[in-house]
Structure formats: structure tokens, C-alpha cells
A and B are shown apart, each in its own frame.
Chain A
Amino acid sequence: MPKLTPLSEAISAHVHDGDTVYAAGFTHLIPFAAGHEIIRQGKRDLTLARATPDLIYDQMIAAGCARKLVFSYMGNPGVGSLRIARSELEAGRLEWEEYSHFGMISRLQAGAAGLPFMPMKQTAATDLERANPQIRRITDPYGGPDLITVPALNPDVAVVHVQRADSEGNAHLWGIIGEQKEVAFAAKRVILTAEEIVPEATIRSDPNRTLIPGVVVTAVCHVPHASHPSYAQGYYDRDNEFYLRWDAISKSAEMTRAWLDEWVYGLKDRDHYWQKLGPEIHERLKVAPRPSAPVDYGQY
């Protein structure tokens, strides 16, 4: 199977019921298109891991994809509560495992580096240590104070959205780079979606910007606007209005179902979704250019 493939085929081939999935992106480049495709394909019993579950996991939980949530901040960023994840968790219908941000990201760092765990300095947040037996202590073999450890996280599949990649999955990303690189190295399979598919020469023109190399990428999908209502730095803005609107939609199970019917099940793919958003929203999310000064790698 060639790496460059439609998103629906990548999800169908590489996301299986029961998998641990990590959809990357700290506020930025959240792979909503892949999340919606997972919903459309009716994947079940997933363990959904993400530092900030964000709306993407709220929607996947609402659609019945999730068995368990692994997280470090379960809120609607800039708005308030993440209502569906929270109510499922309060009702005991959703298993969960909780870390701090640094704990969560250290798990990926360990997974990416092929280590069994990662040490961190103590924070004295002992209630979370008691609540989550996966957070443990070790003696510093060099004689310093005890350290906290968290186990490696090696997701079955990572979904990562980037600004541009070549057809082998060598990917440039910029702006907030969260945990995309770590999760791409930690995961067993990587589905990469990209705003643009560019020639290999474009990637080679700026190799320092390649955070994810094609060697760890399983599938590459060309999916413009894949991150809405999150954003892609330099391509389109965050749709804060939608984050606010989700707060209202997710208050009601009926409204949530209706939204999923209209915006996920009722649509074929992301192009369809973007068209349906319409010119007014396209215009509102437009970004003026602010290019960096080019660097010169030199001809050797």
C-alpha cells in the first residue's frame, strides 16, 4: 500500500477497535478530520490518550468510540468544562487515567526514546500519586532525593496533523509544536495528515523544520483544513466561536447527537465539511501573512 492514501483508507487500515489512540496537538494542529473519520467508521473501545482531550475527544466520546480516557487537563480550553467527557467520567461510564501535563508528556518522551519510564523531580502532589498507581517513586542511584517516574506511553496509533509533508511523510511543522514529534516516535503506527503535500525538495530546502521523518510514518493523507475548529499556524485561525458554541451544544445529548449527524455522519469527508462551513467562516478564519526571514543553509 503506498503511503499517500485517502484518510478514510488510512483510518480503516490502521485504527482498530480496542486500540490506544493519541491524537496529537496542544491546542494547535489538532487532527479533527481524523477524529471525525474514526467516528464515521464506528471504531469502538478505544483508549483515547491526549494531554488535553479537547473537543476532538469530547466528540469521539459522545459518539461512543471510547472505553477509556488518559489525560492531564480535561477542560474546554479558554471556555470551561469539557462537558461530555466530564459527565461520562462522573457517571462512571468512562474509565480514566490521569497525570499532570509534564507526566503525560514525559510518558511520550520515554516511549519515543525506547525507555521503560521517565524520571521527574518531585512536585509533592501526592494525592495524584495515590490515585494513580502508575505514578511511582525511585531512589536516585546517584544519591540525590527520590524521583517520580511515569511509564512509557507507546500508543498503537498516533494521528498527527502538520502544515506540509512530502508523500513519504517527511513533515514540516511550525508554531506550537506540543508533543507531535514525541508521539510520532512513540507510537507503533503513525497516520499523518497534512495541509499541503509538497515535493521532497521543499522538505530538503529546510531540514531543521522537519520534526517528523518519513521513516516513522505509516500513512500520509492530504487533508486541507483538517484542524478546524483548532488551527494551523499561518493557514487559518482558531475558531474560538465554535469552542464557545460546543459548550452550548454539549449541554444537551440531543443537540450533540444532532450536531454529530449534521457535521460528521452526514458528511463524506473534510472537503465536504469545509464547504459546509461556508464563505463567512472561511473569511473569519483567514490569516494575514507574516513570513520568517529565510535562512541560508549554504551550497556545499
Chain B
Amino acid sequence: MDATFTYSSAELMIINAARLLCDGDVVFVGVGQPNLACNLAKRTHAPNLVMIYEAGVIGAEPARLPLSIGDPTLVSGSLSVVSMYDIFALYLQRGNVDVGFMGGAQIDRYGNLNATIIGGDYTQPKVRLPGSGGSQEIAAWANRCYIMTPHQKRRFPEKVDFLTSAGFLDGEGGRQRAGLRGSGPVTVLTDIGLLEPDERGELVLTALHPGKTVGMARENTGWDLKVASQLRTTEPVTEKELRILRQELDPTGIYLGSE
């Protein structure tokens, strides 16, 4: 392999997210980067991945890059299409989803997510964001969640301005006390490395991507980020993974840019 080949932060996160998926997982997929991660996993180590989209599509096999959560390419050739009530009730609430992909404007020390407002208060927000959509239910009811986000201080505050979707709430035992399913946000993937919860539900740095440093991660986190005693380095991105992403999945680079 050419040692000098380069990749974007988005490609790095997508490739690492793909590697976390297991063959046979039922995944609640979002458009953009999570969609690419799932399709990459399906084309490599997880051919039996079942992709579910919030719009009500089960077992999608998109023939082109979907550009919205309700892209018609998700429907054609899928296993099943159900109503929105059914996707949330029968699939999520009932516990038939293994993995949920999440994003958000803010992620805090305990993996809680904010996609609602920044600054001010709810009735007079400084910045109004789109809101929950399905993320409140995905976070609560999927068996495990992955969060993908660029590693920036403003995105990692000590505490979210608004709790849109539950991570580990106030720490150890929070999810159980609130009656939630599943193990919550088990991995946060950034362009610097991976954060995972410790036994108290606090996100700690457990892995760095090649060439990234602990200092970079700590500088870009809004709380005093702890470092796991067994800090790992993620496997280098391979030429094959990049080729599938660039040539097969997103040939015009819509979601593979620099962020």
C-alpha cells in the first residue's frame, strides 16, 4: 500500500464506524456519514447487516447514494416498508433494533446529546436546532448506540444545554433508573479517536487514530477528559475501505469532505 495516501476526517470516522458493526446487526441508519458506514460494513465484513431507515424502510439496499432520509432508492428492492408509527413502535420501542447511529450539536461528559437549542432558554433560544426527530427514541431503545462527530470543544461541553436524547444521564445507573433499554452510547467516534464510557458512564479516551495525540483530544474536549490506562491506536485506514467509499458509495464526495 502507498504509505503516503491521505484521507479526510469524515472518511476516517466513517471507516472506523463501519468496523464497529457486526454481521447480522439490525441498524437504525441515518443519512450522510452513518449511511456510508453501514454500506461500507455491508460490502466488507458484514454482508448480512439489516439497514433500517427512520422513514420506515427495512432491509434497504440503496442502489445510489441516498440524499435524504426518505430517498426513494431506499424503498426499491427493500425487504419491507412500514408506517412511521410501526417503525417506532414495533421496531424501536419493542426492542428489535441492535444499533442506532446518533449525531448532535453537543455531547456531554455522560454521553447525553443535544439537538434542540444552544444558549438562552427553551422559549427564547439563542440558536434553534432541528430538534429530536427520532433521536430521543433511538437513544433510549436501541441496544447500543454510536455517535459520530468532529472533535471540537464546542461540541463536547461538560453538560448539554438541553437534553434531547439520553446517554448515561447523570452517570452510573442512570439509564437503568430511568427504565431505558440497552447499553447507551458505547462509542463516540471523532476525527481524533474513540471515547467510550467507563464503569460510571463517563466518556473517556480509549483510542487514538494514527498520528493523533492525547493532547489534541484533551484540548478539544470541554471537560477534563480522562485517558484509559490501556490506550489503543485504531487500525490504519486501508486502501480497500477508501476505494469502496470513494468509487462505489459516494463517487462525487458529497459526504466525504473535510469535516
| A75-83, A150-158, A214-222, A257-265 - interface stretch | A75-83
Residues of B within 8 A of A176 (CB): 55-57, 70, 72, 74-75, 81
Given A124-B180, A233-B72, check contact A240 B67 (CB 8 Å).
yes
* B56, B72, B135, B140: the one within 8 Å of A26 (CB): B56
In the assembly, what is the distance between CA of A289 and CA of B133, in Å? 32
In the complex, how many angstroms separate the beta carbon of A266 from the nearest chain B beta carbon?
28
Residues of B within 8 A of A71 (CB): 131
| B162-170, B214-222, B242-250 - interface stretch | B162-170
B76 at the binding interface (Cβ < 8 Å): yes
B163 touches A126 (CB 8 A): yes
A123 touches B68 (CB 8 A): no
Q: Which residues of B line the A interface, CB within 8 A?
A: 31-32, 54-57, 67-72, 74-77, 81-85, 88-89, 92-93, 116, 122-125, 127-128, 130-137, 139-141, 162-166, 169, 174-175, 178-180
The residue in chain B whose Cβ has the minimal distance to the Cβ of A30 is B70
A131 at the binding interface (Cβ < 8 Å): yes
A194 at the binding interface (Cβ < 8 Å): no
A26 touches B71 (CB 8 A): no
The residue in chain A whose Cβ has the minimal distance to the Cβ of B177 is A124
In the assembly, what is the distance between CA of A90 and CA of B126, in Å? 7
A101 touches B137 (CB 8 A): yes
The residue in chain B whose Cβ has the minimal distance to the Cβ of A174 is B81
Residues of B within 8 A of A106 (CB): 85, 88
In the assembly, what is the distance between CA of A287 and CA of B63, in Å? 13
A202 at the binding interface (Cβ < 8 Å): no
B130 touches A240 (CB 8 A): no
B82 touches A177 (CB 8 A): yes
Residues of A within 8 A of B169 (CB): 124
Count chain A residues whose beta carbon lies closer than 8 angstroms to a beta carbon of B: 55
* A120, A125, A238: the one within 8 Å of B71 (CB): A238
Task: Tell me the residues in window 190-225 of chain A with beta carbons closer than 8 Å to chain B beta carbons.
Answer: none
Residues of A within 8 A of B72 (CB): 28, 175-176, 231, 233, 237-238, 287
In the complex, how many angstroms separate the beta carbon of B130 from the nearest chain A beta carbon?
4
A109 touches B70 (CB 8 A): no
In the assembly, what is the distance between CA of A89 and CA of B127, in Å? 10
B137 touches A100 (CB 8 A): yes
Residues of B within 8 A of A287 (CB): 72
A182 touches B83 (CB 8 A): yes
Closest 9 CB pairs of A and B: A27-B70, A73-B133, A75-B130, A78-B68, A123-B140, A124-B178, A102-B88, A124-B166, A100-B136
- For the A-B complex with A146-B179, A287-B72 known, give 18 more contacts whose Cβ atoms are closer than 8 Å: A78-B31, A78-B32, A81-B130, A82-B130, A86-B128, A90-B127, A98-B132, A99-B132, A100-B133, A101-B134, A108-B85, A120-B93, A124-B180, A125-B166, A177-B81, A231-B72, A243-B68, A290-B77
